[in-house]
Structure 1
Amino acid sequence: MSERDDEEREFDLRWADGAEHKEPSARARMLAARWKENPPGPVPFRPDPEHRRSRHRHRSPWMSAALVLGIVAAVILLLGYLEFRAPF
């Protein structure tokens, strides 16, 4: 690409960015048409805490950390045991 093409391309990008009216994307147009006939209902930002608990088991962050550390310790012990038993 020549230097002249780069300058023209940069000019075109600046011209396009400075446009007063920007056409919405196809998805935005599709959703606007769909919502015009059937608007979506309100959606809460976060679900109710009771609803979340009923779907997932409640586990303390300490339990998760202890589980991870226990697995790491078990792997270290297993590798040490295998190294100890390996013939020289």
Structure 2
Amino acid sequence: MTGKSEHDDSEREFDYRWARDAPHKEPSARARMLAARWKENPPEPVPFRGEPEASGPRRSSWISTALVLGCVAAIILLLGYTRFQAPY
């Protein structure tokens, strides 16, 4: 009896090679939904790079660089000062 159930399981196992080689592939549910929606109301063309969103004033890159370098210099000076003060 166990031999027959193992044989049934192997027949029911999904064959990925057979599925990939299928001549017709059914689209996913999302693809079908979008196709139906776009048939009645097609989407507007969108440029490759959209317009940047206005999220407020941006700092220039040199200000950001100066801020980062200033923080690194302050940390180096602080570490040097604490090492100088440490009694060895």
* TM-score category, normalised to shorter length: 0.5 to 0.7
TM-score by length of 2: 0.59
Moved over 6 A (4+): none
Structure 1 segments unaligned to the other structure (5+ residues)? none
TM-score by length of 1: 0.59
Give the number of the structure whose residues are more often helix, by fraction. Answer: 1
**Code of the aligned partner of 1:75:** I
How many aligned positions are there? Answer: 78
**35, 38, 43: which one aligns with 1:35:** 38
**Cα root mean square deviation, aligned:** 3.4
Structure 2 segments unaligned to the other structure (5+ residues)? 1-8
- 1:13-40 per-residue CA deviation (whole Å, 9 max, x = no partner) reads 2111111111212221221122122111
**How far apart, CA to CA, are the structure 2 residues paired with 1:71 and 1:44?**
39
Q: How does 1:50-65 map to 2 (within 5 A)?
A: 52=52, 55=54, 57=58, 59-60=60-61, 62-65=62-65
Larger-Rg structure: 2
**16, 39, 48: which one aligns with 1:13:** 16
